[in-house]
Every structure is written in C-alpha cells, then in structure tokens.
Structure 1
Amino acid sequence: MPTVAQSFEQFMQDLELREGENREAQRQERVVFDALRHHLSPRESILSGSYGRNTAIRPLHDIDLFLIFTTDSSGNGKVLQPQEFLERVAQALRKEFRGKQPRLQNRSVNIEFSGTGIGFDVVPAFEDLRQPGIYWIPDMRLGQWIRSNPRKHIAACDEANRKAMQRLKPLIKAIKRWNQLQGKPVPSFLLEVMAYEGIASFQPESHPSVYAQGMAHLFQFMSEHIRADWKDPAGLGPPVNAGVGEGHLQQGQQRLSGASRKAARALELERRVDMPGANELWRELLGTDYPVR
C-alpha cells in the first residue's frame, strides 16, 4: 500500500500533458492561425489560458488561442462591436473547416476537431496602439471591448508558483480535476486566481504529505473566500468572478466546504498512519486516477 505522498506524486504525474498532446496542440494552433490568415489576417497568435500557464490537465480539450488583429481586420478601418467581430471569426472558421460548427462564447469562438479531441477557444484581440502589450478583447455579456494581457497572466502564475517552491501548479491541476469531477461548479480561472493568494499563507507541517496539506489548505481557503471580489491578475479587465451568478458561487462554496472537510479527515488519518483510509478519502475527492494500491 503506497503512502499518501507516493500516491500524490503518481497522481500529479498522471495529470501532466504528454509530449504527443503538446505537439498536436502546437500543430493545430498553426493550422487555425494559417486558416484565419486567409480571411482576417491576424498578425500574431499566443497560446494562452491554462495551456499557456501550464495548468492544463489531461486529457487536453479546449485551448485558448489568443489572436492579435489589426484594426483593418474589421473591413472598414473600425473595430466592430464584440458580437459582430466574433461572428466574423466564426464565419471565417466555417469557411476554412467545412462541416464544423464554430460556436460563439462570451469572449471567444469555439471550434472542435474530431480525432484528436482538441478544440480551440479563439479569442480575437486588438493591441492598444497607445499602450503596446495591452490588448482589447470582446465581451458579449458586457457589450464592449475589455482590456487583457495573457502574458501578464502567465507571469502572475509563474511568480506564485516560484514562491510556492514549484508546488502551486501541480496543486492547481489537482483541484481542477476535483472541479471537473464535480461538474465544474467553480470557473477554472477563478480557482487559479484564488490559489495564487491562498498558497501564500500555506505553512506545511513536517509529517503529512506536502501535496495533501496543500490541497486541504486551498480547499479551506477557497471555501472561505470564493465570494470575495477577485481582481484580474493583469490589473486590466473586470474581476475574474464578474458575471458568475450568486447561485453558482453558493454551489461552489458548498462543494469546496465539503471537500475541505473530507481533506481534513484524510490528513488526520495520515497522521495516524492509516494510509489506506487516507488514500481512499483522497480517491473519493480526486477520482479513480488517484492510485491507492
């Protein structure tokens, strides 16, 4: 029977993307970029979102593809309204990928590819001519363009991970797996942003698994703070939890509180050297990929 520390190490490794998944994601990114160049002439692309921050988990599904356009891409020298430009992106994808049905989302257009199971959330962006490195992206819910910078999001995640001695990203991936098994009651990016602050107050003990302690700490921190206003790590866009309904926040808080209680019981069993009992509780939280024997 493995220790909790051994089970977590194996579980964290199993969440990592495989080399083949990374190669295929990068290949398809070039395919989508080249396809859109025929119609809208994006000048640059950034693999952003969880993939860009290295917090994506396998199996890999949707990847955020941040496409930077010039103002001429609107066709009339002006930037269109958010929904209009998203519809233009969807139309271009439809022309290039026959049989596909691109789907408009709040800030992106989703297109899925059969065979690989990898899809892309294409996020169109215009660089602010007065502030290089700052980008305007569409928000249909708000009916306006909002500021963003995926490179600052990556930098914020990297810095929090560095301060946590490289433990934060594996913990984020594990909590994302838990969230996935729960039906995703908490938006993925909100989980990440809460983890950046939550990990700062983490002080591990000497005995239980550090990853187990980190999970328990983050579950508790998130359950207590999910209703707070969580600012965009780039300091540009609206709060990360803007637009998340009260019902979703309440459900997320309830699920996180339940996970926090179960994680605390697992830690107590580990302190009593009841590895089978502790591992079974973590398996209940993290699914059958968590090894118990």
Structure 2
Amino acid sequence: MASTVFSAFNEFMRDTVNLASKKTSDARRSRDWLIEQIRLFPDKDSSFPILYPEKNTFFGSFARNTKKRPLDDIDLMICLSAMGGTYYEQPNTIEITVHTECRQLTRLCYEGTQKLHSVKVVNKFISLLNEVPQYQNATIKRNQEAATLKLNSYEWNFDIVPCFFTSEDSAGNTYYLIPDGNGGWKKTDPRRDAERVKNTNQLHDGNVLDAIRILKYWNKRPTMPSMSSYLLESMVLDFYNKPFTPTASKFVDIEVPKLLAHIKDHVYHPVEDPKGIQGDINQLSLEDRGKIWSRANEDLNRANKARQLENEKDFQGSIFEWSQIFGSEFPSYG
C-alpha cells in the first residue's frame, strides 16, 4: 500500500515492472555458461561449423536493459566463420554460397548445391545442445530462426540464433546475417538497436529505460491487442529523439501521459526500422490499431486526471486512476 503517488510508483516499478537484480545476475551467469558450452561444440563434433566468437552478440530486451517482468526469454547470437563464403541478396531473402573446401558448412547446404540451408544450421546447434548433460531434461527445439532452449531450472528460455558477420559493403556498413525461418538468411544489426537505447537514455539523464518498461507493462495488459515489444520500444525511442523534446523526468508518472499521447497519435502511422533494414515495422492490422488508439486515448484521459488529482493533493483519487490504467498490481492507497 502507498500513501503518495511517488511511493506507489516506486513500489510498482520495484516489485512488479523492473527485473529483480538477483534474477538478472542469475540469468547472465546461466547465459555465460551456455556460451561456454557452445564454444566446446567444434571440439566435440568435428563437423560443427567453425565459430567466430569475437563477433558473438546479444540482442533483445534483456540485452538492452528494456526488459520488464517476467524474464521469459534471453536472446543471443552465436557467430560462425563463413570461411570465404559469399552472400547474394535476392528480393525476399539472402543466399549464402559456401566455399567448396569448407566441409563443415557444405554438409549443411541444400542438397546438390553450395547454398547454405539455415534450417540445417539451426538443427546442427540443436543436435549438440541435446548432448550437453546438464540439458538432458530441457526442451530444445527450432523456433523460426532460433534454437530455443527451455530449462526446467529457470523460468526463461534461451533463443540461440546462429549468424554470420559480413565484410564492409560499398557504404562501409557491416551486418549480421541470421536465418529467415524459411531456409534462407536475412540482415540484422542489434548493435544499432543497443546504441540507440544507450544514447537516448544518456540524452535523457538515464530516465528512458523505466519509461520503456512501464509502457511495455501497459502494452501487455489484457485491455487491448498487444504491439510487439520491439515496435513499442521503437515508438518510445522515436518520441524521445524528436527535436525539442524535453528531458525525460525521473518521475515516470510524468512521462506516461506523454507516451500515451504519442502512441495514440502515431499508431496509425508507419514506424521505420531504426536499423534501416526492414522499412515500416508497424504491421498491426487496422482493427488492432483502432483498439490500441481507443485504449491509449482512454488511459491518456485517466493519466491526465491522475496528475491533476495529485496536484490537488488528492493522492487517494490519483492512485485509484493510475490503478485503472495499470491494473490490480498497482499499489492501493493506504
């Protein structure tokens, strides 16, 4: 229970929205242990592709510190050496051609070709993960571009994505190539996402991460269709990178109305991929956009009312309005 709006939000962020520090530490240790097991795969199986560990990278909300509770997935990209291979961009996919002398990769090509089959690469990871004794009771399967590892001992999954790191293109850019879920490959670059979050948060005195997390909590409430976590995060970052946007407040309740207004005003608009790879990432249906607009508008009105009641020292009334936005997990007055 809370007697002020300030204490209510502090309790809400600490106990409901943000990840507990011990859980974060445990997750990082288990992730690092997994990476060490993968590092041993080529020693255990000479047909396993040669690793390029210097280019391993993390991606997703957990890596960017924008993850809210629960901690349900941890994403990592394990880089492989292309050993002189090349890639060719088709209209809807990317083909990787393997060098004829790279036996570890030629075994994972489409039959009768030198074209690397991404599903076979993912399945190769799965076969070796199944041989790790500590994972004998785990559920390991392919999920589109990733090998997904679900451990009984933890609440989170690991999504392990094999990748290749490109040489510089004519513009001096490098990318990661990851499976596209259909046997081919596609470009991505989680470094750009991580850098954008870091720079935006620093620009706003370290106050953006909490704003992202609390909006993700709002987005997942069963009051409307949910946007993808990445789409919502991109919209929040777009707001904080607009010219003349005031520095974000350390009091997250001040930021919520601004962000709800931004979502309401932009949910019908294109949202460009900040990496410059995918184009418009707002693939919501017209019906879902309408429902999200309605909920954002309704909760914006509630948030403005809550702010007004707080200014009038009616903390009980303000906390009640906030609980209508965030649900029963929001602390009650008392």
Q: Secondary structure at the match of 1:159?
A: helix
Deviations along 1:43-70, one digit per CA (max 9) or x if unpaired, are: 3332321111111123322011122112
Answer yes or no: is 1:43 the counterpart of 2:83.
no
Matched with 1:83 is: 119
Q: Secondary structure at the match of 2:230?
A: helix
Q: CA deviation at 1:134?
A: 1.7
Q: Secondary structure at the match of 1:66?
A: strand
Answer yes or no: is 1:290 the counterpart of 2:330.
yes
Q: Secondary structure at the match of 2:323?
A: helix
Asked whether the equivalents of residues 164 and 200 of structure 1 are also in contact (C-alpha less than 8 Å), the reply is no
After superposition, the Cα gap between the structure-2 partners of 1:272 and 1:66, relative to the gap in structure 1 and judged at 3 Å, is same
Root-mean-square deviation over aligned CA pairs = 3.0
Deviations along 1:224-266, one digit per CA (max 9) or x if unpaired, are: 2123222222223444335x54444444334333332332232
After superposition, the Cα gap between the structure-2 partners of 1:253 and 1:129, relative to the gap in structure 1 and judged at 3 Å, is same
Matched with 1:62 is: 73
Which structure has greater helix proportion?
Answer: 1
Q: Secondary structure at the match of 2:139?
A: coil
Asked whether the equivalents of residues 49 and 81 of structure 2 are also in contact (C-alpha less than 8 Å), the reply is no
Matching residue's letter, 2:315:
M
What is the rounded CA distance, in whole Å, between the counterparts of 1:166 and 1:205 in structure 2?
8
Matched with 1:165 is: 205
Asked whether the equivalents of residues 266 and 279 of structure 1 are also in contact (C-alpha less than 8 Å), the reply is yes
What is the rounded CA distance, in whole Å, between the counterparts of 2:225 and 2:147 in structure 1?
20
Answer yes or no: is 1:226 the counterpart of 2:267.
yes
What is the rounded CA distance, in whole Å, between the counterparts of 2:192 and 2:262 in structure 1?
24
Matching residue's letter, 2:36:
D
2:282 to 241, 261, 269: 241
1:39-188 matches, cutoff 5 A = 39-44=48-53, 45-71=56-82, 74-76=105-107, 80-96=116-132, 97-131=135-169, 133-140=174-181, 144-182=184-222, 185-188=226-229
Matched with 1:12 is: 13
Matching residue's letter, 1:92:
L
After superposition, the Cα gap between the structure-2 partners of 1:262 and 1:109, relative to the gap in structure 1 and judged at 3 Å, is farther
Q: Secondary structure at the match of 1:185?
A: coil
What is the rounded CA distance, in whole Å, between the counterparts of 1:122 and 1:50 in structure 2?
15
After superposition, the Cα gap between the structure-2 partners of 1:205 and 1:230, relative to the gap in structure 1 and judged at 3 Å, is closer
Matching residue's letter, 2:261:
Q
What is the rounded CA distance, in whole Å, between the counterparts of 1:259 and 1:217 in structure 2?
11
Q: Secondary structure at the match of 1:124?
A: strand
* Percent of aligned pairs with the same amino acid: 22
After superposition, the Cα gap between the structure-2 partners of 1:204 and 1:134, relative to the gap in structure 1 and judged at 3 Å, is closer
TM-score w.r.t. the length of structure 2 is: 0.75
Matching residue's letter, 2:81:
T
TM-score w.r.t. the length of structure 1 is: 0.84
Q: Secondary structure at the match of 1:102?
A: strand
Asked whether the equivalents of residues 229 and 239 of structure 1 are also in contact (C-alpha less than 8 Å), the reply is yes
Q: Please tell me whether Structure 1 or Structure 2 has the larger radius of gyration of its CA atoms.
A: 2
